[in-house]
Amino acid sequence: MTTAITGSCFCKAVQYRITSAIPMAVNCHCNKCKKAGGAAFSSLAVIREKNLKITSGKECLTTYQLGENLAKHFCSRCGTPIYNINNRYPGRCMMALGSFDNPSVVVPSVNIHCENRLAWVLLDDKMQNFEQDYS
């Protein structure tokens, strides 16, 4: 039995609940994540799409196509990224870890797109580090 994980955007218009444990989380250092998140890298929890329930503010949840296969979902009121959908990983949701009410519930185990990592972002060598994607 796991306690449900909840989260929201900054303004709390969009709220959600994740109805499963989190199988994994990654730090993505790609340049799209830098632009789309406004930070040095994105921390993303990978879950099954069916386990994400938007409990409030569906009407504020807006989609922006970052690329052919990648769509960002964010709050149109405050701009907080909530999740990404990548068509290369059907049925998966990449949740923006910082939008969790308790982001410490999951610890990223993998760094991806390290070839685009900023030099001052230090990697933990206990994590799995990939130059590009996992594949």
Q: Using CB under 5 A, list all residues that contact Zn ion.
A: 9, 11, 13, 28, 30, 33, 75, 77-78
Shortest separation between residue 112's beta carbon and Zn ion, angstroms: 7
Residue 91 beta carbon to Zn ion: minimum distance, rounded to whole angstroms: 19
Segments in the chain forming alpha helices (H): 31-37
Cα 50 from chain centre: 15
For the CB of residue 9, give the shortest distance to Zn ion in the complex, in Å. 3
Nearer to Zn ion (CB atom), residue 12 or residue 21: 12
Distance of CA 88 to the CA centre of its chain: 15
Hey, CA dihedral for 14, 20, 26, 31, is it positive or negative?
negative
CB of 1 to Zn ion, least distance (A): 30
Q: Which residue, 18 or 94, has its beta carbon nearer to Zn ion?
A: 94
CB nearer Zn ion, residue 30 or residue 106: 30
| Beta carbon nearer to Zn ion, 5 or 30 | 30
What sign results for the dihedral spanned by CA atoms 88, 92, 97, 99?
positive
The single-letter DSSP state of residue 29 is: -
What sign results for the dihedral spanned by CA atoms 7, 9, 11, 13? negative
